[in-house]
């Protein structure tokens, strides 16, 4: 058994092949953002000053999602910062600020935004071409790096005034924030780096930015929500027991108010922040009543044991009536992934954060087939089967070896059942009564035959 404690009252218990989180989110340390399956994952914001203007500059701001399996889903990212001086935004392409602010002191041309702390969002698909820039206008949705690096980038361009017109007079903005779409990301300060270089379309000329600074943002599931977002259930062909998700994995059922399944006094069930007509941007999830109360459940079923292979069926079920999951992904850690032979209806890519260990893979849907996990209902599930080749020195069905060590859904760690509840193999003890019964019958027959042969009957 191992323990991992931070300055908050959060404790991680590690038992066998399962990790169980008992968390109280009263504090946060940088170690909470470290992900052992994606140790270098982050979102890097690059701010390139392309040209100077009369009172400022034109800059291209690009968000690079270097996280292997954590993407930004609808309604997309929101990037904020605080200006170091009295800068204003004269105009934007590929993005827009959510508020204009007080621009009453300007006459004639009115700035796009006069706020000291602007918040920028991506434009929607279908934006006119004269308002677009490269890698914009996807509604703030950014794919994970492992799924599609080409769509793991988002950009916008802004014209900044009252900012200074040289490298010595320009000041780097402060207090960067990133919502994707809710909390969870912590951004460091902007750091001036070597200017970016750009290769021309003919690849014969290289230009460079006037000035460049980078901002790095890291994710913590502890900051994103108070409760988990998913859980795991298990079953196998060799045992009729179905191990369900642990009770109250993501919240507890409300038993006091009929017709309302979510307990308002308990932890808020995790969901995504979505646009709302009211003042609050949070829309509570309408979750199907279950013992685990999780929006998403992953079921791992050990299906068949062949001579040289074994097969697993994976099913992802959505219990949230208020949300679809686009571009979803599943990360599974299991020691036999180095011998994965075939996936039947999911895409697969190995994740190898440590060169000598290949025990983790990312699975995601096939485009236009099952890359959208629909809301709760008859179509609210996706499934596939995985075929593994056996490794003679390691393969066993004993002691829960065939079940995953951990599972992530959309980058969040899912609650696993306790190891002592895993489906067990039938052992010889279960056959002892049958063996004794047969032995008694054979003994009786033997006595009868002996007696008959001696003429006693």
Task: For residues 140 and 76, give the distance between their C-alpha atoms in angstroms, rounded to a whole number.
Answer: 4
- In a domain? residue 455: no
Q: Are residues 242 and 384 in the same domain?
A: yes
Q: Are residues 233 and 201 in the same domain?
A: no
Backbone φ and ψ for 441, nearest 5 degrees, come out as -65, -45
- In a domain? residue 136: yes
Tell me the percentage of the chain whose pLDDT exceeds 90: 56
Two tokens, residue 49: 């000053």
Q: What is the pLDDT of residue 24?
A: 33
Q: Enter the DSSP assignment of 20.
A: E
Region of poorest pLDDT, from 2-11, 92-101, 378-387: 2-11
pLDDT tens-digit map of 63-79 = 999 999 999 988 899 99
Q: Which of 174, 203, 223 is the last residue of a domain?
A: 223
- In a domain? residue 95: yes
Q: What is the pLDDT of residue 13?
A: 34
Backbone φ and ψ for 248, nearest 5 degrees, come out as 60, 35
Residue indicated by tokens 């820039």:
133
Q: What is the pLDDT of residue 33?
A: 63
Backbone φ and ψ for 454, nearest 5 degrees, come out as -95, 10
> Left, alpha or beta for 40 (phi > 0: left; psi -120 to 50: alpha)?
alpha
Is the peptide bond preceding residue 181 cis, with omega within 30 degrees of 0?
Answer: yes
* 3-state class percentages of the chain: helix first, strand second, coil last, to nearest 5: 10, 35, 50
Residue 270's alpha-carbon distances to 183, 220, 242, 341, 380, in angstroms, are 12, 14, 25, 35, 18
Q: Are residues 324 and 370 in the same domain?
A: yes
Confidence at 287, pLDDT banded by 50, 70, 90:
confident
Better pLDDT: 205 or 31: 205
- In a domain? residue 271: no
Task: For residues 430 and 407, give the distance between their C-alpha atoms in angstroms, rounded to a whole number.
Answer: 32
- In a domain? residue 300: yes
pLDDT tens-digit map of 79-132 = 999 999 999 999 999 999 999 999 999 998 999 999 999 999 999 999 999 999
Q: Are residues 200 and 231 in the same domain?
A: no
Half-sphere exposure of 80 (CA within 13 A, CB side): 18
Quick check: 182 pLDDT over 70? yes
- In a domain? residue 98: yes
Q: Are residues 211 and 306 in the same domain?
A: no
Q: Are residues 138 and 247 in the same domain?
A: no
Confidence at 146, pLDDT banded by 50, 70, 90:
very high
Confidence at 322, pLDDT banded by 50, 70, 90:
confident
Two tokens, residue 371: 């890359």
- In a domain? residue 426: no
The enclosing domain of 60 has a CATH number of 2.60.40.290
Q: Are residues 110 and 171 in the same domain?
A: yes
The alpha-carbon radius of gyration of the chain (Å, integer) is 29
Quick check: 433 pLDDT over 60? no
pLDDT tens-digit map of 250-277 = 888 776 666 666 665 555 555 444 444 4
Q: What is the pLDDT of residue 52?
A: 96
Residue 99: Cβ-neighbour burial (10 angstroms; 0-12, 13-18, 19+): exposed
Confidence at 437, pLDDT banded by 50, 70, 90:
very low
Q: Are residues 217 and 241 in the same domain?
A: no
Domain with 291, as residue range(s), is 227-251+285-421
Tell me the percentage of the chain whose pLDDT exceeds 70: 79
Task: For residues 457 and 207, give the distance between their C-alpha atoms in angstroms, rounded to a whole number.
Answer: 111
Q: What is the pLDDT of residue 17?
A: 35
* SS3 state of residue 170: coil
Task: For residues 378 and 317, give the distance between their C-alpha atoms in angstroms, rounded to a whole number.
Answer: 10
Mean pLDDT of 236-256: 87
Quick check: 166 pLDDT over 80? yes
The pTM of this model reads: 0.80
Quick check: 450 pLDDT over 70? no
Give me the residues paired with residue 159 across strands: 58, 91
Q: Are residues 78 and 193 in the same domain?
A: yes
Half-sphere exposure of 266 (CA within 13 A, CB side): 16
Arithmetic mean of pLDDT over the chain: 83
Backbone φ and ψ for 432, nearest 5 degrees, come out as -60, -45
Q: Are residues 238 and 132 in the same domain?
A: no
Quick check: 192 pLDDT over 90? yes
Mean pLDDT of 411-416: 93
Mean pLDDT of 391-408: 88
Q: Are residues 211 and 295 in the same domain?
A: no
What's the distance, CA 300 to chain centroid?
18
- In a domain? residue 6: no
Q: Check: CB of residue 324 under 8 Å from CB of residue 372.
A: yes
Q: What is the pLDDT of residue 9?
A: 34
Task: For residues 381 and 397, give the distance between their C-alpha atoms in angstroms, rounded to a whole number.
Answer: 27
Q: Are residues 95 and 119 in the same domain?
A: yes
Region of poorest pLDDT, from 27-36, 232-241, 335-344, 427-436: 427-436
Mean pLDDT of 324-348: 91
Q: What is the pLDDT of residue 393?
A: 81
Q: Which of 223, 243, 277 is the last residue of a domain?
A: 223
- Total tally of structural domains belonging to the chain: 2
Q: Check: CB of residue 29 under 8 Å from CB of residue 371.
A: no
Residue indicated by tokens 């988002």:
154
Nearest Cα neighbor of 303 from 230, 373, 384, 421 is 384
Nearest Cα neighbor of 180 from 51, 45, 302 is 45
């Amino acid at each position: 058994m191992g323990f991992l404690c931070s300055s908050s009252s959060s404790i991680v218990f590690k038992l066998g092949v399962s990790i169980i989180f008992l968390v109280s989110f009263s504090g946060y340390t940088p170690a909470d953002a470290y992900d052992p399956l994606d140790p270098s994952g982050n979102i890097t914001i690059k701010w390139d000053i392309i040209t100077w203007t009369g009172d400022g500059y034109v800059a291209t701001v690009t968000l690079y999602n270097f996280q292997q399996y954590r993407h930004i889903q609808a309604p997309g990212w929101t990037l904020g910062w605080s200006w170091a001086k009295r800068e204003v935004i004269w105009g934007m392409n590929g993005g827009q600020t959510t508020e204009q602010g007080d621009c009453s002191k300007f006459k004639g041309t009115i700035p796009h935004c006069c706020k000291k702390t602007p918040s920028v969002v991506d434009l929607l698909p279908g934006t006119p071409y004269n308002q677009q820039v490269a890698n914009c206008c996807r509604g703030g949705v950014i794919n994970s790096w492992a799924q599609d690096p080409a769509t793991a980038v988002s950009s916008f361009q802004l014209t900044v005034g009252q900012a200074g017109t040289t490298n010595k007079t320009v000041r780097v903005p402060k207090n960067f924030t990133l919502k994707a779409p809710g909390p969870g990301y912590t951004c460091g300060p902007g750091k001036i780096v070597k200017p970016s270089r750009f290769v021309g379309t003919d690849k014969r000329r290289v230009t460079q930015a006037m000035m460049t600074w980078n901002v790095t943002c890291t994710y913590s599931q502890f900051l994103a929500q108070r409760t988990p977002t998913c859980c795991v259930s298990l079953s196998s062909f060799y045992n009729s027991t179905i191990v369900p998700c642990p009770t109250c994995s993501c919240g507890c059922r409300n038993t006091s108010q009929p017709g309302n399944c979510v307990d308002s006094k308990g932890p808020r069930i995790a969901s995504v922040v979505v646009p709302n007509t009211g003042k609050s941007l949070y829309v509570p999830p309408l979750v199907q009543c279950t013992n685990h109360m999780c929006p998403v459940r992953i079921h791992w079923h050990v299906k068949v044991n062949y001579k040289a292979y074994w097969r697993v069926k994976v099913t992802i079920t959505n219990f949230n009536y208020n949300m679809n999951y686009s571009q979803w992904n599943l990360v599974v850690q299991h020691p036999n992934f180095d011998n994965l032979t075939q996936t039947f209806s999911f895409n697969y890519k190995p994740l190898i954060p440590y060169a000598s260990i290949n025990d983790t893979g990312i699975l995601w849907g096939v485009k236009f087939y099952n890359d959208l996990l629909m809301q709760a209902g008859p179509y609210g599930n996706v499934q596939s089967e995985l075929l593994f080749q056996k490794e003679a020195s390691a393969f066993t069905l004993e002691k829960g070896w065939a079940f995953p060590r951990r599972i992530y859904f959309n980058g969040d760690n899912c609650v696993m059942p306790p190891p002592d509840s895993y489906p067990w193999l039938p052992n010889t003890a279960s056959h002892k009564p049958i063996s004794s019964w047969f032995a008694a019958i054979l003994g009786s027959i033997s006595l009868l035959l002996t007696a008959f042969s001696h003429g006693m009957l």
